[in-house]
Each structure stands twice: as C-alpha cells, then as structure tokens.
Structure 1
C-alpha cells in the first residue's frame, strides 16, 4: 500500500508557515479556482457527458454553475467571517471581553463520490480554502474522466504542498485514511461512512460525513397536485435519481392518490418525452453493478409508468411503482436510482411512525398547504433538511446549512457553514489588568459568601 506520509508532511510544513491563514492568500486561491473552472467549462461538460451522459444543462446547473455560485458567495462574505467575533461576557467576568477566533485545522482530506463528481469534490474544497486549510482530494474512480480532469486542473494550478488531487480506488482511500490528518470530509454511502469514522477514530481526527438514506416525500390531500407532481418528478429523476437527497419514495394521501399518479405520469412525459428510454439526454446509471442492483427493484409491486431498461447504455427510464409495502426490497435500502415507489396513507400518525421506524433520512419533502400538518411533520420527524412544497431546492441556498443527522451524516456545509466546518472555533477571553476581583481567591475575606451572590 502506497504511503502518503511525505505528501502530508509537506502540506503540514506548508501550513505551519501560516501562509494559508493570510486572508489575501485565501481570496486569491478562491479567485484562481473560479477562473480555472470558468476557463475549462467545456472540458468539464465533456467529461461529465462521458462519465454519466449528463446534458450540458444538467452539468452546468448541478455541477459547474453551483460551484461558481458557491465561490462567489464566499468571496463576498469571507472578510467578515474571518474576523474574530466578539461575544457577550457575563457580569461574573467583569473587566474582561470575549472573542471567538476561527482558525483552520491544517491538512484536510476530502473523499468525494461519483454521482456529482465535480460539485461534490469542489464544494468542500471551497470551504477548506476559505478557512485556511491545505487539502488533499480523492475523487471517485467510478467517474474516471471527470476525476482525471479534476486532478489535471487542480494539480496544474496549485502547488501540491497546498492542494493536491490523488486519483485511485479503494486502496488509495485506505492509504490516505491511515495517515495522521487534521480533518476528514467524506461524501458517500452509510457503510463506507462507518469505515471512515473508524479510521478517523484512530487519530481522533474530526470528520464531516455526508451520507444518505431513504428520504421520504409526503403528499397531503390539501396540496396543489399538479405542481407537486412536477416538482417531485424533477427532484426524483434529476441525474437519474442518483442524488443523495432525491425523494426516495412517496407517501400520498389515499384521497388524491389516483389524481396524483396521473399528474406524475404527465409530468414525467413532459420532462422526458413519451418514450424516455430513447431520450439521448437521459443520465446513465454509473456502472453495471448499480444497474443490476436497481433492476431487481423493478419486480416489486406494480409498474405504473416506465420500467424499460437498456443494459448496453446503462439506462433505466423514470419508473413509478405502486402497490408497494415496507416489506418490498425497494423499501429496504436507499434506491439511488430512477425508481420511485408510491405508498398511500390516510392516518398521519401511522405515516410518522412508519418513517420514524427507519433510520434518520437526509432529506424530507412535504407537500401541503395545511400549517398544522407542516408543524406536525417538522416537530415529529428528525431529518437532515428539506423543503415544504418543493424538492432539492434547499441544497442550493448558501444561507442554509446542508447535512444529515444520525445515520444520514454528521456535520454540515455550504455557504458560511462550509467555512465553519473547516474552522476550529477558538475561544479567547481577554482580561483587564487595571483591577482584580479579590473574592475570586479562596483566601479573601468572606470569599465564599460573596461568590454565592454572583453565581446565583
């Protein structure tokens, strides 16, 4: 197994020069990264097309444009975030003032996945740079063209003692994880997340885990059925369902189930045509292993729409399954593909119980105009984040932290949360020397009596 001790030591030595902590250095690095991405936009689109058959529209909106917007947002706000934050000081600390300093951890390892291979490598890198860290990126081997281009662009732009991309498979990740790093950021599956956390524990390395899970979508009877169906179809089948926050399944109220299904069929046809399997812009399943896994779900329940596949091109068209129960195979694990099971409900308490019997989802989507239903769901179901009357969109605002809870992940990023994730919050109290509080010392007269007055 290859050793990365030399690389990591070089990065630690560079970090110890304190150059990365200089605000102008960080701003320049982010500006350079933005310029490189903009200059090589066409090559990135071509790589994403070769790996996943992503259309230019999808490649730009979900990968390139998203990343550029994130950089622009952080460039606008970084100066204020990087300043020491003055906070209140209690009367018990008379004469002192309190501050929170944001300081970088050091050498950060970013292990990114294949489903959004560019965006999910760059977004945490942006946070690492903004906070003043060095970084090593290990992109996914399942999207080789995009990973190769990321390595080329980053390694040709930045010195390896600052930022470096190392391509490779599982053995590369294992070798990197065996080293003594300062921070680990991982996006991927729950089983691999457990391996990451176990490796981090050996060095007590702090981690952010962006995982997944079965994200529910609830369609209440008091909703705009046509608009709900359109937004659910878009959110579910974007990137062929290979999105960690895609609606994994739909719970629809029995009173509107038939109307919703018809609206969903119409929405899918409007988005992908009468025969989606022939749509040249349909994103492919990443490899044959995942294709085989997904096709086993097609025998569950009843196929309401879709179900056609093309093994040669790794295509599964948008598919909706009905007559589904929690005992079906499609309901056992996160689907992560263009297959949408639909269950029905008529009792909200039973629905909540069913969702809560599963691990914490990364996202939850609720379609209803009823404020009581909204409050009931938000109060009684734990999930990473989500939307009311929409899907996916909460991911795209830099003002909301994005992350999971429990088995769907730990930690959050995007916008200021990216800066905070890669920053240790160092607490500093500055005390006056103009006077002293005598009864803080045990030998002062009536010290205990006077202390009690202060601490009540």
Structure 2
C-alpha cells in the first residue's frame, strides 16, 4: 500500500505543483481553518487519550501549532526568496545566491505524548518547504490518531499528504521506501533503528528523541519559585514530556527546605492527584506497569500511589537511589522524580566538575535546567554541560518561542526545527553561481608559474 502512495506522491512532486510559495500558503491556511473548525473534537480526543484538561490541551497542543502556522504564513515568502551572497575576484561579473528547494518525498513520524502538536508542527514545516508527506501518527494515542487520519483524509489528496495510524506490524512496508527526508519524534531506541533504515537510501534525518534531562538546583536559587516551576514542568501531562526534568540534582545544604517546598507545590498544583480530573493519565497499561515497576525496591519519599482503573500514578519523589537503579539509566517518561544531591564546598571549579560528573554518566540530554543566582555557576553549567537546549531558572519554556531552534544532540536527537529552522530541515539549500555568457578569465587556463594576478593577490592579502 505505502509503495503505491509513495509513487503517486513522487509523480505529484515532479509535476512542480508544490513549488509555488502562494500554493504552499493556501495549503497551510486550509490546515489552520480545519483546526479552528474541529477544535472541540481535538480537545475531546486528547482528553480520551491522555486525560488532558481543556486548559492543558489548548496550551500545550493547539496553541503552539497555531503560533507555528501564523508565524510560517507571515515569513514564508521571505524564507523562499533567493539569498544573495558575495562573489569572488576570480569571477567578478558572476552573481552568487542560494535557494531553498523542497527535498521531495518526506516521512513524518509522530509520538503518543503530544499527538497533535508533534504531528502538526513538523507537517506545517514540511508543507511550507514544498514537500509531499507520508504522515505516521501514533496508534497508541488512538483517539487522536484516528481523528487526524480522518481529517487529513478529507482535507488532502493522497498525492500531497497521506496519513496513517498503522500499528507496528506494518512498519516494514512504511520504512522501506527511499524518502528524501525522515522526521521522527520518539524514543532513542526506535530512532536508532530508523536511522539505520534511512541509511540505505542516504535519507537526511531529523530525530527528536529524549534522554535524562537534569534540573540542577543551587543553594543560591529562589527555592520556592524553582519548586513551583519544576513541579509544573515535571508533572505536566503526567510526566510524559520528552523535555520534562528527568531527575533533580540538588545542593545538599538546602535538601530539607527544598523537598518540603516540592511537596507543598505538588499539593497546591495537583491536590489529590488520583481523583483530580485535571491531572493526566498514563497513555496505556503497558506504560503504566513499566512505571510502577520502576518504583519497586526504591525509597519513595513522597507519593507512589497508583490506580490501575484510571491509569493514574501520583506525583512521586524518590531518594537514596543506587547507582545501578533503572531510575538513573532509563528515561522515566512519567510522574516519578528521583532526587540526587551534590555538596558545595565553596570551590567553584570543583563544584562545577561534581555536577559534570553526575550529568555525564548518561548521554547528552534533550534539555538542561539550572536554578541559581550565582552567575559563575550558571555560566559553567550552561557552557560545559552538553545538551540539546537549556533553561536558566525555568523549565520547558525554551520550546515555546517559534524563533528558537529546538532539537537534541547525540542520543537525544539530530537536527532542529521550529520556525525557519523547521523550514530549512525540510529544504535543500542549493548554491547557485550565474555568470554572463560573454565573460571569461584567461588566467584560469594558464599553467606553470604563478600569474601576475595571483602574485598581486598574494601580496595584497599578505599570504
């Protein structure tokens, strides 16, 4: 099935219908209108899949997509223009420029945790760049997936956008095609497999993966505000956020005070979480029991309760974790927050190296959070800890700006997107040199010793 769709999209792309910027804008405007018209159904699907409240679903799913669409429509003409570049003395009458051309047939694979946002934003970027798209939505967040298949099936011809929620048994057919670009959001394990499959055709890749994102809390931080932001960012969507703080690294001198502040914030923001209608659920029984299993033989400092009937797990804090614990080696992806500690003995460099030692036990995280008013400490962490992105005295908000590239490095991802960065991820920037037919430089044909022109150039440049 997918091969026939792919061949149809190839012919459609070769027709040149996607090259016109105004055509691309009209396509994106159709998507925008459909979102507005179907907003209530989108919110309902997200509620059924992840128990997202109307507020959370709108703020984390619909709003980012609408911002991305409006920003793209405003700037797309500029992105699609020629970019003039400086020439060279060897061809003084030539003009140099770049053009962003579509890559062609692309595959976008979206995850279950933000099934609307993480499907629509890369789709908008792919369409803005002039590509045809095969769109694989998550079969785990099934209500949202089925809705997207229905909406895109009615909105687009298969030659432009084909949307499927095929389960893993159909993956082989889907991934064994020579896409010009693959955009995948999901786990590092699956990302590696897709990278290997794409290597057969030398497909370019954007991989948005995960990792163990630390939140580092220094004693100089505004502890109350740090606790409030960390609790919000960690337990949003029941912890099923790729850039959620995966563990805390806290200055031991403020341990008792900060733990009490965390508990106060959990009670304030998520009171009676198991019965709280505004608190999210785990997406499936498989993921629910995986998370429950992570807590076995661990010292739960706060929380730990769970309800199989609703797939909810309380916001949970864990201390005294052994170095071989799965909590420290696996991405948690749920409402469980391990708390580790470091000692500040007053030596700035030594302190920074202690933090580096702990964070460096895992591959580069997708996000890094540091809470501190100590400028030296902040600068050391920001400049020395390798991560996809970073927030100082906040969490998650670096994802919100359409101007700011979002992406990982190493095991947490490859490439970035949002705004112009998403447009460029799905584009090939072609270099062009145009020379008048009458111009020729005889020097280029000379052999042997240096020409007078080259000797003058060396003297002028000081080479």
Q: What is the match of residue 328 of structure 1?
A: 325
Give the secondary structure class of the aligned counterpart of 2:235. Answer: helix
Distance 1:284 1:389 in 2: 28
Counterparts of 1:408 and 1:368, CA distance in 2: 25
- 1:203-214 to structure 2, matched below 5 A, reads 203-214=201-212
For residue 277 of structure 2, give the secondary structure of its aligned residue in structure 1.
Answer: coil
Contact 2:18 2:24 in 1 (8 A): yes
User: 2:185: which partner in 1?
Assistant: 187
Name the structure 1 match of 2:444. 440
1:199-238 equivalence runs, <5 A: 199-238=197-236
**1:108 offset after TM fit, Å?**
0.8
* Structure 1 position 447, deviation (Å): 4.2
Provide the residue aligned with 1:338 in structure 2: 335
1:358 maps to 362
- d(CA) in 2 for partners of 1:315, 1:366: 29
Equivalent in the alignment of 2:454: 451
Q: Equivalent residue for 1:410?
A: 414
Contact 1:47 1:149 in 2 (8 A): yes
Q: Which one of the candidate residues 122, 132, 135 is aligned to 1:134?
A: 132
Could you report, residue by residue, the CA deviation over 1:367-403 in whole angstroms, capped at 9, with x for unpaired residues? Answer: 1112211211122111101211100000111111010
The structure 2 residue matched to 1:287, chosen from 284, 287, 303, is 284
For 1:4, the equivalent position in structure 2 comes to: 2
Q: Which aligned pairs between 1:44-55 and structure 2 lie closer than 5 A?
A: 44-55=42-53
Cα 1:350–1:18 shift into 2, 3 Å = same
Structure 1 residue 435 displacement after superposition: 3.9
Return the offset for 1:88: 2.2
Give the unaligned 5+ runs of structure 1: none
1:17-416 correspondence to structure 2 within 5 Å:
17-273=15-271, 275-346=272-343, 347-416=351-420
Task: String of CA shifts for 1:66-99, please: whole Å, max 9, x gaps.
Answer: 1111101111111101101112224344222221
> Root-mean-square deviation (CA), in Å?
1.5
Q: 1:440 to 1:246 in 2, by over 3 A?
A: same
Taking the aligned partners of 1:452 and 1:195, their CA distance within structure 2 comes to 54
CA separation of 1:149/1:452 partners in 2, compared to 1, >3 Å: closer, same or farther?
Answer: farther
Does the 8 Å CA contact 2:91/2:441 hold for their aligned counterparts?
no
Secondary structure of 1:21 counterpart = coil
8 Å CA contact 1:325–1:343 kept in 2: the answer is no
Aligned-partner Cα distance in 1 for 2:208–2:157: 28
Residues 108 and 135 in structure 1, CA contact (< 8 A), matched pair in contact too: yes
Shifted more, 86-95 versus 7-16: the winner is: 86-95
Q: Is residue 440–residue 447 contact of structure 1 (8 Å, CA) maintained in 2?
A: no
| C-alpha displacement of 1:301 | 4.0
Conserved? CA contact 2:382–2:390, under 8 Å: no
Write out per-residue CA displacement over residues 242-269 of structure 1, whole angstroms, 9 at most, x where no aligned residue: 0000000010111112111111111111
**TM-score, L = length of structure 1:** 0.96
* Per-residue deviation, residues 81-124 of structure 1 (Å, max 9, x unmatched): 11011122243442222211100011111111100111111110
CA contact (8 A) 1:105 1:183 kept: yes
After superposition, the C-alpha distances for 1:138-193 in whole angstroms (9 at most, x for unaligned) are 11110111000001111101111111101211133321111121111110001101
Equivalent residues of 1:30, 1:129 under 8 A apart: yes
Q: d(CA) in 1 for partners of 2:188 and 2:165?
A: 22
Q: Does the Cα contact within 8 Å between 2:85 and 2:96 map onto a contact in 1?
A: yes
Comparing 293-302 and 30-39, the one that deviates more:
293-302
CA distance in 2, matches of 1:340, 1:453: 67
Q: Is the 8 A contact 1:439 1:446 kept in 2?
A: no
